Structure 1
């Protein structure tokens, strides 16, 4: 379990918050440091208007938007309309994805989509074969590519190290999105991976896991075995400026309770470390 329990972490943060004019929750949301947001894959069962309402209720400001909520097949005008709906709700899109970039014939189409959506970064899944062309398009479109590791089943990029090895001599806009759950399943050290990535670390997908009955099972962040506190300490020490985006993959029909629990824990850890 986490080295700082929920009860201990919130007790300490509450004591500090008592000296401040705002509530603990407001302090935790506004605390400086790492950006905590949501990968909208977490809300894949909800249409964009419903997803936006849930995100507002969760007091989220930063997003990595999934195709469910900004469709690849939309026209540029429709994509712009969707982006404006997020903006009107006070939501900032930091990236889009995960976007598959393994089919050569679809690469430019996906970059055109990202351009239409105004995405500064694509969280993506290329293959080793398409990687050189992806780099060319990154240079052409000036859109970062954060390659997402997908665990031991991924024949191309199972771990952060596999991504870093592939992009080490490439354009600096070619980097990494660490999925902390898949990193754990790939038996890579999460904290060491963050340090190893350095400036190539562009984004993170956050979740938590427990190992039970011979397999990994996802739980709310803070309830599992992933070292969330050490992760945030390391990100703070490295002056990481990217996002830590909650990707809540369980309870798809009713994700709000688990998402709220996860975000509260991460915000509390960030606030305590910021203090």
Structure 2
């Protein structure tokens, strides 16, 4: 008798997709119910929007092999305005003026910068942490996706409050 083993990667992929589908199904169920509750004479034919919509976006890291202009061109085909940028597209080394110009290029192309990173806070010093918050603020990033040693967390929290990120 042979064993039919499922590879771990296939199992995890299927499990994650199933859980995501289940979560979306639960979130969509209330809006389906509201469609049936339309009042007489209401011929709009659409259900009201759920109170918390899911907004899908992309991570520029997925397009890391392409320059920014090509990345924006390809991202337009996905028809989502939301992008989280990696430093490959918005480099850390740019001046505040250069970051403002890159931000304008992105916004003029119809995109909304939703965050940046993953940023690694590898120095537990004010200068080592603040440089990334100054970068994110100048680039228009309202959120930083980051990783750090636990000991660095209080310093990161301090600058998150200071920069309102």
- For the aligned pair, the TM-score class normalised by the smaller chain equals 0.5 to 0.7
CA shift, 1:75, in A, is 0.7
2:68 counterpart of 1:48: yes
**Runs of 5+ consecutive residues of structure 1 not aligned to the other structure:** 5-19, 22-31, 144-275
Counterparts of 2:79 and 2:160, CA distance in 1: 32
**Runs of 5+ consecutive residues of structure 2 not aligned to the other structure:** 1-13, 20-43, 46-51
Counterparts of 2:18 and 2:129, CA distance in 1: 43
Q: Tell me which of 133, 136, 149 is aligned to 1:127.
A: 149
Q: 3-state SS of the aligned residue for 1:67?
A: coil
Structure with the largest fraction of strand: 1
Counterparts of 2:146 and 2:18, CA distance in 1: 32
2:78 counterpart of 1:62: no
Q: 3-state SS of the aligned residue for 1:74?
A: coil
Paired positions, count: 120
Counterparts of 2:154 and 2:94, CA distance in 1: 27
- Give TM-score scaled by structure 2 length: 0.67
Structure with the largest fraction of helix: 2
Aligned to 1:76: 96
Counterpart mapping for 1:1-275 below 5 A: 1=14, 2-3=17-18, 33-105=53-125, 106-143=128-165
- Higher relative CO (CA 8 A, sep ≥ 6), structure 1 or 2? 1
* Runs of 4+, deviation exceeding 6 Å: none
Q: 3-state SS of the aligned residue for 2:92?
A: coil
CA shift, 1:104, in A, is 2.2
Counterparts of 2:55 and 2:77, CA distance in 1: 18
Query: What whole-Å deviation, never above 9, does each CA across 1:217-264 have from its counterpart, x for those lacking one?
Result: xxxxxxxxxxxxxxxxxxxxxxxxxxxxxxxxxxxxxxxxxxxxxxxx
Cα-Cα RMSD: 2.3
- Give TM-score scaled by structure 1 length: 0.41
Aligned to 2:7: none
The structure with more radius of gyration: 2
